Amino acid sequence: MPGPTADLFTDEALQQPAGREQIGEQSYVLRGYALPWVERLLPELRAVLAQSPFRQMVTPGGFTMSAALSSCGALGWTTDRTSYRYTTIDPTRQQPWPQLPATLRELAVMAAAHAGFDGFKPDACLINRYVPGAKMSLHQDKNERCYTAPVVSVSLGLPAMFLFGGHERSDKTQKVSLFHGDVVVWGGVDRLRFHGVMPINEGLHAVMGPQRINLTFRTAG
Ligand code: MD3
Ligand code: FE
């Protein structure tokens, strides 16, 4: 018997655990999930960046990325005029990337489990820094060895409009606003979908100042 009652109980939003929004078949936004972790996470992040500071990288196409990058974990993501790849050595310092700090790892593992991906073992954490105007063009993440592991992203600071596309570059994209403390988990069939970030608007975040920092945890090796 269709009607208001039936509609109420088939509403997708009502079938989600608190604060979990499904944006794809196997992709979830966990609103504010990282908020209780931020105080513990920021000193770890500062220590990582003191060792491997942000740098703007040049792509094989010759473009300088507007987001500045760093990494921690056994593997760090790098690009230069040659290729996009993961390395065990930070090319700027010619030293291993800083270790993945305990709180960061714990947050990523718990968020993955909350989205249905138990046993996540991240070995790479890419740190993206966006100042107002910085963006990330539509792309796929294809440099990881295995696509069965999910990707976990933690947004900090200024809000961003995330673009979530399909498996073809030309597929229609959905827009998802991401705020300070939001965590997104992508996995399974959604792992190779095109995605990007629209230019960040001017602003000053109470905790992070005039920037957005995104942490992306992956199993790369
Ligand atoms: C969606 N970073 O570093 S979150 C990236 O906000 C990247 O800094 C964005 O795209 C950012 O590669 C978006 C990360 C993300 C990573 C992998 C994905 C989103 C994804 C794989 C499939 C779908
Ligand atoms: Fe990406």
pLDDT digits (tens, 9 = 90+) for 112-132: 999 999 999 999 999 999 999
Q: Length of the chain, please?
A: 221
* Domain boundaries, given as residue ranges, for the chain: 34-218
- Other beta carbons within 10 angstroms of residue 175's beta carbon come to 9
pLDDT for residue 205 is more than 50: yes
Residue 12 — φ and ψ, nearest 5°?
-55, -40
Mean pLDDT of 43-58: 97
Centre of ligand 2 from the C-alpha of residue 8, in Å: 36
pLDDT at 5: 47
Residue indicated by tokens 């593992």 = 109
The CATH H-level (homologous superfamily) assignment of domain 34-218 is Alpha-ketoglutarate-dependent dioxygenase AlkB-like (2.60.120.590)
H or E stretch covering 10: helix 4-10
Average pLDDT value for the chain? 93
Task: Specify the pTM.
Answer: 0.92
Q: Is 151 in the pocket of ligand 1 (CB under 6 A)?
A: yes
Q: Which ligand is nearest to the CA of 151?
A: 1
Average pLDDT over residues 52-74: 97
The pLDDT of residue 41 is 98
Average pLDDT over residues 19-31: 95
Q: Distances in Å between the alpha carbon of 11 and those of 8, 15, 114?
A: 5, 7, 21
Number of Cα atoms under 13 Å in the Cβ half of residue 201: 9
Ligand 1 close to Cβ of residue 182 (< 6 A): no
For residue 3, the CA-to-ligand 2 centroid distance in Å is: 42
Residues bordering ligand 2, an ion, CB closer than 5 Å: 141
Distance 196 CA to ligand 1 centre (A): 7
